[in-house]
Amino acid sequence: MSGQEEYAEVAVGEKPTTKGFLKSGEEFKQSLRDGRVVLYQGEEIDDVTTHFATAGGIAQIAEIYDEQQDEGSEGLLTYQRPDGNLAAMSYMAPRTKEDLARRRNGIKYVAQKTWGTHCRGLDMIASFPVGMLGYLPSFKKHCPEYAENIVSYLEYAEQNNLYLSETIVDPQGFRGRAGGTAVDLVPPERAVMRITKENSKGIWISGVKGVGTVAPQCNEIFVGSLHPPTPDEALWAFVPANAPGIRMFCREVVHRPGTSAHDHPLTSKGEEAEAMVAFDNVFIPRERVMAARTPAIANAGFFNLWTVYSHWYTLVRIEAKAELYAGLAKVILEVLELEHIPVVRQRVSEIVQFAEIIRGMCLASLETATMSEGGLLVPGSTALAAGRVFAMEKLPRILHILRDLCGQGLILRFHEKDLAQHAAFGQKFEWFLDTQRVSAAHKNVLMNLVWDVAASEHATRSLVFEEQHALSEPLLRDTIVRDYDYSEHANLVRNYIGLPPAPLKG
């Protein structure tokens, strides 16, 4: 048996290392010191928990792990399983509206800590095995060989409180893209992710996938394909981030490591790292494979069905972000003494409207939730998709308004040491920047926050992610058209003008 087989074979059988199914932030960090291969600008990172490119985002996640152990976290970040153990809310399988409401509260709480910029937080990819459970009958129908692995992997991930990532997107290079080369070419001429070998113990895969958000900072990676043209290129599986043969290539950082919380209240704390993930003859044991060699189900339609909780996570995260934007706008009005200007209030009303509509769509998705074929309650798809599209349309406008409210203050931001320097009239520089309500230093830190949230590289990355990498607008619009219940209203129109009933779909 090869070392690769030995390593992966025992992974799913590991037991929790702490009492119950929770772990501390330090235990989470320790779990990432596992020999994984992560590269940043050509150099291998020795320890992702200390390297400037990855440490900040890991520290932010570690804080949530610590909070999960607080007594007051039950019902918000944790829940009690039927066996009496406390487990992370991320892995709870919702069966009632109350369950969904609790998950929503937990997602919002965590999102508030990062201003919603962690697009792949603890709850995001953890919802993948939960969603698969909700559509287990379809997996059993199309992939009976692997379907039961869904139940066992969900139990394993919950018991070990894993932080998960995913890589399903083909790289933009033509050789690694499913439609980039002829399917009869062999590697490396056709370098699409594929199953290269299979036996009774598992499969071996090779190829490169993205977007790999938090892959360098997580415990395990979901790897898969969409619309593969051949069975060898069709797979959905989970693999440890340190599995032999995995190499991760991090993008350039967009946060501001080493800066103070005064100068950069948000971006000094770190970020979630994106990476392209290379799989070079990586062994995956059979118990970690959820589907393989089944192109019929490896399509966007079925994928978006069972990943509904992750799409809902995105909408709830944006709800938290929108509410913070409204609060930020209010503080700007107060600090800059702008409340008395009608046109300014009208601009702020757009932000409040945005927050209220997103909140309404979240509540509507709860109210219209339906039972999945596997017996889980899933958010209403039409309200969910409509809310996501609305957010995509309006987010650039909302960020523009936040920047515009600040006027010159957003450009003219200064280091604390500059404020203490002599300026004129025998006064320090800060004398000329005080408002009647706050000091120059407090005004400055507010402007720094707005910069981080609405104008920085970090803010641009977050916006691009919302637009491109959490299900694109055309796909969401297609969902709206496809899933909307027209029946009652279309019949009213037909009856009003005497049209016969619509023909039944064959």
Let me know if residue 302 belongs to a domain. Answer: no
Let me know if residue 202 belongs to a domain. Answer: yes
Residue with tokens 């189900």: 297
Domain shared by 267 and 340, yes or no: no
Domain shared by 366 and 270, yes or no: no
* Residues 342-375: tens digit of each pLDDT: 999 999 999 999 999 999 999 999 999 999 999 9
Domain shared by 207 and 108, yes or no: yes
* Residues 115-157: tens digit of each pLDDT: 999 989 999 999 999 999 999 999 999 999 999 999 999 999 9
What domain count does the chain have?
A: 2
Mean pLDDT calculated for residue range 465-492: 82
Those residues whose C-beta lies under 8 Å from the C-beta of residue 41, and which sit 6 or more positions away, are: 252
State residue 128's pLDDT score. Answer: 97
Specify the DSSP element, H or E, that contains 343: helix 342-367
Q: Which domain holds residue 381?
A: 307-491
φ/ψ region of 150 (left if φ > 0, alpha if ψ in -120 to 50, else beta) reads alpha
The count of other CB atoms within 10 Å of the CB of residue 14 is: 10
Domain shared by 161 and 90, yes or no: yes
**Count helices and strands in the chain by DSSP H and E runs:** 16, 16
* Residues 229-271: tens digit of each pLDDT: 999 999 999 999 999 999 999 999 999 999 999 999 999 999 9
Residue 494: strand, helix, or coil: helix
Domain shared by 91 and 240, yes or no: yes
Domain shared by 292 and 403, yes or no: no
Reported for 471-480, long-range contacts at CB under 8 A and 24+ positions apart, including other chains, are 471/304, 471/311, 471/314, 471/388, 473/389, 473/392, 475/300, 475/304, 476/385, 476/388, 476/389, 476/392, 477/385, 477/389, 479/304, 479/381, 479/382, 479/385, 480/382, 480/385, 480/386, 480/389
* Residues 83-108: tens digit of each pLDDT: 999 999 999 999 999 999 999 999 99
Tell whether pTM > 0.85. yes
Q: Domain ends where: 275, 296, 317?
A: 296
Please, which pLDDT band fits residue 431 given cuts at 50, 70 and 90? very high
Let me know if residue 496 belongs to a domain. Answer: no
Specify the DSSP element, H or E, that contains 399: helix 381-406
Those residues whose C-beta lies under 8 Å from the C-beta of residue 409, and which sit 6 or more positions away, are: 336, 443, 447
State residue 8's pLDDT score. Answer: 38
- State the Cα–Cα distance between residues 216 and 223, nearest whole angstrom: 14
What's the CA angle centered on 243, arms 175 and 309, to 5 degrees?
80
Domain shared by 272 and 334, yes or no: no
- According to DSSP, residue 120 is labeled T
Looking up residue 472, the CATH number of its domain turns out to be 1.20.140.10
Let me know if residue 239 belongs to a domain. Answer: yes
Domain shared by 327 and 287, yes or no: no
State residue 316's pLDDT score. Answer: 97
State residue 469's pLDDT score. Answer: 66
Domain shared by 290 and 322, yes or no: no
- State the Cα–Cα distance between residues 334 and 319, nearest whole angstrom: 23
Q: 190 burial class (0-12, 13-18, 19+ CB within 10 angstroms)?
A: buried
* Residues 316-341: tens digit of each pLDDT: 999 999 999 999 999 999 999 999 99
